[in-house]
Amino acid sequence: MINFSEKKGFICDMDGVIYHGNQILPGVAEFIEWLHREKKEYLFLTNNSGYTPRELQQKLGRMGLEVSEEHFYTSALATAEFLKRQAPGCSVYAIGEAGLLNALYDAGMTMNDVNPDYVVIGEGKSYSLDTLTKATNLVMRGAKLIGANTDVSGPIEGGISPACGALVAPIELATGKRAYFCGKPNPLMMRTGLRMLGCHSHEAVIVGDRMDTDIIAGLESGADTVLVLSGVSTRETIKTYAYQPTVILDGVGEIPRLAGQVI
């Protein structure tokens, strides 16, 4: 049971929850307005490693949503933080976009396509057979394999797009090595999100569209969970899982309407 009015913090996914591609979803503006009006702590916690927080802020701005940069945390930042703690100053061979590359640089990593300590994979247009072959052989020669997140697909306008989990899979199959993934549902990313909000897990709500990342991440961190049907999950696919969200809603626009009710 959830009483949204009594919750202190909200951790929300973005793809499939706030937008599809460049299309804002129904009720999102009302939801963000409610968060501000009720002075809720909130964080957009996305597994998409391609964007920097500033790029995400500007993307929402183009959709008419005013959200400051500190409200965003990505799997790219989680990956960079993990590597910084594991091996400060290490070298990496990275396949990804600005969000991942900037996070790695800012955390003190150097790029190395000869003998890196790690091969790091995120979503990106630079992914090709050539970069895949390079990454595979570097892992075969001893580099450790890191994936920004386990998502195998993400919703876009008109369909889905392969995501990091799908892009890492050929390297795992070719090398026999398993990647370590830093994004949701990794509890390290969830703990960081709760710390950024200044919330304990029982004070927070996790909102997402994926059972295998968002909902299990919330469940395993001890927070209440809201699955929205505006992304990849449907009422039929939900039934295939051994665990369930606390609440199922059509979209985040229902949260302000239900605030004050125990559901």
54-96 pLDDT tens trace: 999 999 999 999 999 999 999 999 999 999 999 999 999 999 9
Mean pLDDT, to the nearest integer, of 44-61? 95
- Token code pair at residue 261: 């009710």
The CATH class of the 4-47+200-258 domain is alpha beta
| pLDDT-based confidence at residue 41 (cuts at 50, 70, 90) | very high
Phi, psi of 34 (to 5 degrees): -65, -40
pLDDT tens digit sequence for 105-123: 999 999 999 999 999 999 9
| Residue ranges covered by each domain of the chain | 4-47+200-258, 76-181
User: Model-level pTM?
Assistant: 0.92
15 in catalytic set: yes
CATH fold label, 76-181: Rossmann fold (3.40.50)
User: Is 13 a residue of the active site?
Assistant: yes
Annotated catalytic residue: which of 13, 117, 212, 224?
A: 13
Would you give the distance in Å from CA 113 to the centre of its chain? 27
For residues 235-254, give the mean pLDDT.
Answer: 96
Q: Kindly state the tokens that stand for 202.
A: 């029982």
Would you state the pLDDT for residue 77? 98
Question: What pLDDT is attached to residue 261?
Answer: 72
Query: Quick one: pLDDT band at residue 230, thresholds 50, 70, 90?
Result: very high
Helices (runs of H) and strands (runs of E) counted in the chain = 10, 15
Catalytic residue among 15, 209, 212, 224: 15
Higher pLDDT, 158 or 92: 92
